[in-house]
Amino acid sequence: MKQSPEESAMLDNFGPSKFSGDGFLGTDQRTPQEIVIDDTLELERAGMVASVIGRSLGVFFDRVRQAMGAPVEIMPGVTASYHESRGVIPSPFRGEGAFEKGEVAVSGLPGFGDVILTRLSIHLIERHGFFQGRGQRYRIEPAAALMLTRASGR
């Protein structure tokens, strides 16, 4: 598929950079647009939209962050804890600013294991429906995000 100069420039922002060592696509061979389409369809089949998931994950992130590193139980056997990190990371979509780097690590999510959430990854889901590429540490499978949303809302 041919890309416009704007698309090529945007795609550059998704690769490894000074802020994201592995970039936002991981080992995924799909373009960001293809990833968004596939994940959107998966969510639609589950009767959900990314913006709602993103907002819900944002509330969840805040709740875990308030515990200042202490584990928060989400459901039996599933805990989440906040890990601080100095600095900010910019959105790969130019002009959207930079987001704090600290992350929430969810461990033991059934069927998915460990899931990492950041302010930026939540923003990308909420604003763009972009869950990041497979093989990327911060990729959240839509089904995992859905499970987390439902579990944290209890």
Partner 1 sequence: MAGIQWVNILISVGFLVAMGLALTLLLVIAEKKILNYGDCEIDINGGKKKLTVRGGSSLLSTLSDNSIFIPSACGGRGTCSYCKVAVSAGGGILGPIERPSLTDDEIARGVRLSCQVKVRSDVAISIPDEIFSVRRFRATVVHKKPLTHDILELRLRLVEPPVIDFTAGQYIQLESREYRGREAVNRAYSMSSIPSDTGHVELIIRRVPEGICTTWIFDILQEGEEVSLSGPYGEFRLTDIPAPAIFIAGGSGMAPIWAMLRKMRESKDPRPAWYFFGALTQRDLFFVEELRKLEGELGNFTFIPALSNEPPDTPWEGERGLITDVVRRRVPDLANREAYLCGSPGMIDACVRTLVELGVAREHIYFDKFA
Positions that interact with partner 1 (CB under 8 A): 16-19, 21-22, 65-71, 82-88, 90, 94-98, 100-103, 137
**Is residue 143 classed as helix, strand or coil in its secondary structure?**
helix
Measured from the CB of residue 98, what is the shortest distance to partner 1 in angstroms? 5
Which CB atom, from 6 or from 45, has the smaller least distance to partner 1?
A: 6
Which CB atom, from 43 or from 65, has the smaller least distance to partner 1?
A: 65
* Torsion angle, alpha carbons of 11, 41, 60, 26, to 10: -30
For the record, the structure tokens of 16 come out as: 């490894």
Measured from the CB of residue 42, what is the shortest distance to partner 1 in angstroms? 26
d(CA 82, CA 89): 17
Measured from the CB of residue 45, what is the shortest distance to partner 1 in angstroms? 31
Which CB atom, from 34 or from 62, has the smaller least distance to partner 1?
A: 62
Which CB atom, from 47 or from 87, has the smaller least distance to partner 1?
A: 87
* Torsion angle, alpha carbons of 142, 90, 58, 112, to 10: 30
